[in-house]
Amino acid sequence: MNATASPHRTQVAIVGAGPAGLLLGQLLHKAGIDAIIVERQSADYVLGRIRAGVLEQVTADLLDEAGVGARMHQEGLVHQGFEMLFGGLRHRVNLNQLTGGKNVIVYGQTEVTRDLMEARQAAGLPTVYEAQNVAVHDFDGTKPRLTYTAGGRTHAIACDFIAGCDGFHGVCRTSVPRRAITEYEKVYPFGWLGLLSDTPPVNHELIYVNSPRGFALCSQRSATRSRYYLQVPLTDKVEQWPDEAFWDELRLRLDEAGRSALVTGPALEKSIAPLRSFVCEPLRFGRLFLAGDAGHIVPPTGAKGLNLAATDVKYLSQAFIDHYQRHGSDRERGIATYSQRCLRRIWRAERFSWWFTSLMHRFPDDDAIVSKLKDAELDYLMHSESGLRTVAENYVGLPLDFGE
Ligand code: APR
Ligand code: PHB
């Protein structure tokens, strides 16, 4: 039997130290609300994960609000547009012009996580890494608890609220009784093979490619670090893709200008990720709240994952701040409306990510007519002011509040 250490008490117990959990911790700290973060992995493991790297303006503003935006402004690359390559031709989506001055910032999620971790450490805020057997209890009552084991002992944290920021494979969502939850899911019949290399990017802006051989994406982390992706069958294994095979296939999906500008080099990281659309409804179960990947997943086309996580967290922090600091009838409104507020925004981003994924990829069961129809849709979109604007306004992201 494990010995049980005496229980800690905090206002908000946060499960998961990914970007969602860390950002929530920082926003609560700024508001003077206590929180403890409990994470299953080590800090190094969390920082070793390579994820997307496009921040919407709303996300950048939230990082500023959390006091962690300095390096993002210094090192992040402001992109005013991106390119689409199909039918052998490139078309530019001028985000800035089409959206009345909005841009995106290219800055890796790993760096966002690092900045948040460092700020948390500098403020001396409690984070438990390598916690085992994390479990959430009694969230349908008024005294929720979180338990975990570490160093051979069981620890308990008594709290007012639990924030489930523990990603798609976390414990919070699966602790909710099945009858209380509805899950919507689509798994796509292909994956993305990603390669990170210390080579200058092939283009100063991102290129989304729809080629007869499948989708490709040319992205970047800095002027000297590139991130590329190839659509591959779900059955492919990374071992089947030595670096040279990756570069050869990427060349075949690019245009002549891309092929001649491409600089190749050894992979720093190479992995295959499945693509999934997933939403869980609702996102609140009594005193347990889900935020980020714990509640929803988007396929990466359009890079909405981190941005959606950030806005969930903004709504959630606001709900907690209202609860602790406001008086009167509005005090519980943020908590009561958290789920519906998030879900409306989430479904809009899910729709865009699903549509952009469907349009840009070759599906195994696409017959000749479907391919022709997708080509025609792309041709229409890139030659219509309204079409371009539709793509641009979704890509730069919705405002935090977008009306009734
Ligand atoms: N107990 C404690 N921590 C856990 C548990 C558990 N049982 N299960 C998972 N975790 C941790 C994971 O180790 C991870 O560090 O929760 C964290 C969740 O982090 P992310 O998966 O990065 O999810 P989130 O913070 O919601 O960030 C969303 O990540 O996957 C991308 O596209 C997504 O960019 C988006 C962002
Ligand atoms: C990335 O840089 O990893 C990236 C960029 C844009 C996407 C997806 C991933 O749509």
pLDDT band at 2 (very low <50, low <70, confident <90, very high): very low
Q: CATH no. for residue 348? A: 3.50.50.60
- pLDDT at position 51 is 87
Give the amino acid at 277. S
Q: Is 301 in the pocket of ligand 2 (CB under 6 A)?
A: yes
What is the tally of structural domains in the chain? Answer: 1
Residues 165, 38: contact at Cβ < 8 Å? Answer: no
96 lines ligand 1 (CB under 6 A): no
What pLDDT was estimated at residue 336?
A: 97
Residue 351 located in a structural domain: yes
Model confidence band, residue 4 (pLDDT cutoffs 50, 70, 90): low
Residue 306 lies in a domain: yes
Interatomic CA distance for residues 240 and 248, integer angstroms: 13
Residue range 359-374: mean pLDDT, rounded? 94
Instruction: Kindly give the distance from the C-alpha atom of residue 33 to the centroid of ligand 2, in angstroms, as a whole number.
Output: 34
Q: Residue 23 above 60 pLDDT? A: yes
Dump strand ranges (E) for 199-357: 207-211, 214-220, 226-232, 267-281, 284-285, 288-290, 296-297
403 has a pLDDT exceeding 90? no
Give the other-Cβ count within 10 Å of 204's Cβ: 12
Contacts of 77 (CB under 8 A, 6+ apart): 105, 106, 107, 220, 222, 223
- The ligand whose atoms approach the alpha carbon of 105 most closely is 2
pLDDT at 5: 55
Q: Which of 23, 38, 39 to mutate to test the pocket of ligand 1 (most atoms within 8 A of CB)?
A: 39
The mean of the pLDDT values for the chain is 96
- Asked, for residue 211, whether it belongs to a domain, the answer is no
Give residue 370's pLDDT: 94
Long-range contacts from 97-104, C-beta under 8 angstroms, 24+ separation: 98/388, 98/389, 98/392, 98/393, 99/389, 99/392, 99/393, 99/396, 102/57, 102/396, 103/57, 103/78, 103/79, 103/396, 104/54, 104/55, 104/56, 104/57, 104/78, 104/79, 104/395, 104/396
Ligand 1 center to 18 CA (angstroms)? 5
pLDDT tens by residue, 131-184: 999 999 999 999 999 999 998 999 999 999 999 999 999 999 999 999 999 999
Say if residue 306's pLDDT is above 50.
Answer: yes
* Two tokens, residue 222: 């800095």
Query: What's the pLDDT band for 1 if we cut at 50, 70, 90?
Result: very low
Q: Which atom of ligand 1 is nearest to the CA of 168?
A: 21
Pocket-testing residue among 112, 113, 229, 269, ligand 2, by greatest number of atoms within 8 A of Cβ: 229
**Range 272-277 average pLDDT:** 97
What are the tokens at 372?
């022709």
CA of 117 to the centre of ligand 1 (A): 14
Q: Residue 13 falls within a domain, yes or no?
A: yes
Q: What is the pLDDT of residue 144?
A: 98
**Band (6; pLDDT cuts 50, 70, 90):** low
**Closest ligand to residue 353's CA:** 2
Is 86:375 a contact under the CB 8 Å cutoff? yes
Confidence of residue 401 (pLDDT cuts 50, 70, 90): confident
Contact of 90 with 83, CB cutoff 8 Å:
yes
pLDDT, tens only, 202-258: 999 999 999 999 999 999 999 999 999 999 999 999 999 999 999 999 999 999 999
Better-scored residue on pLDDT, 253 or 329: 253
User: Which residues pair with residue 226 across a beta bridge?
Assistant: 197, 220
The answer to whether residue 234 is domain-embedded is no
318 lines ligand 2 (CB under 6 A): no
The structure tokens listed for 152 are: 């051979």
282-298: pLDDT as tens digits: 999 999 999 999 999 99
- pLDDT tens digits, one per residue of 53-104: 899 999 999 999 999 999 999 999 999 999 999 999 999 999 999 999 999 9
Q: Which mutation among 22, 40, 114, 168 tests ligand 1's pocket best, with the greatest number of atoms within 8 A of CB? A: 40
Q: Among all ligands shown, which has an atom nearest to the Cα of 215?
A: 2
Spell 119-137 as b/e; 16+ CB within 10 A means b.
bbeeeebebbbebeebebb
Other Cβ atoms within 10 Å of 86 Cβ, number = 20
The finding on whether 305 has its CB within 6 A of some atom of ligand 2 is: no
With a 6 Å cutoff on the Cβ, whether 300 touches ligand 2 is: yes
Q: Helix (H, G, I), strand (E, B), or coil: what is residue 79?
A: strand
Ligand nearest to the CA of 166: 1
> What does the pLDDT read at residue 284?
98
**Token output for 388:** 């371009």
Closest CA to ligand 1's atom 22 = 18
Sign of CA dihedral 158, 160, 164, 166: negative
State the catalytic residues. Answer: 79, 208, 300, 304, 395
- Of the candidates 52, 65, 99, 121, the one whose C-alpha atom is nearest the C-alpha of residue 275 is 52
- Short-list 194, 190, 196, CA closest to 365: 190
Domain that residue 348 falls in: 3-185+276-396
Model pLDDT, residue 342: 97
- State whether the beta carbon of 17 lies less than 6 angstroms from ligand 1: yes
312 lines ligand 1 (CB under 6 A): no
Q: Which amino acid is at 250?
A: L
In a domain, 403, yes or no: no
* CA separation for the pair 404, 402 (Å, rounded): 7
Whether 222 maps to a domain, the answer reads: no
Rounded percentage of the chain residues whose pLDDT exceeds 70: 98
Interhelix angle 305-325/19-30, nearest 10 degrees = 30
Higher pLDDT among residues 97 and 3, named by residue = 97
Answer for the pair 26, 33: CB distance below 8 angstroms, yes or no.
Answer: no
Taking the centre of ligand 1 as the mean of its atom positions, its distance from the CA of residue 291, in whole angstroms, is 10
* Nearest C-alpha neighbor of 54 from the set 81, 74, 27: 81
Atom of ligand 1 nearest to the CA of 52: 34
Burial of 40 (0-12, 13-18, 19+ CB in 10 A): buried
Ligand 2 neighbourhood includes 53 CB (under 6 angstroms):
yes
Judge if the beta carbon of residue 46 lies within 6 A of ligand 1.
Answer: yes
**From the CB of 272, is ligand 1 less than 6 Å away?**
no
Tell whether 205 is covered by a domain: no
**DSSP code for 87:** T
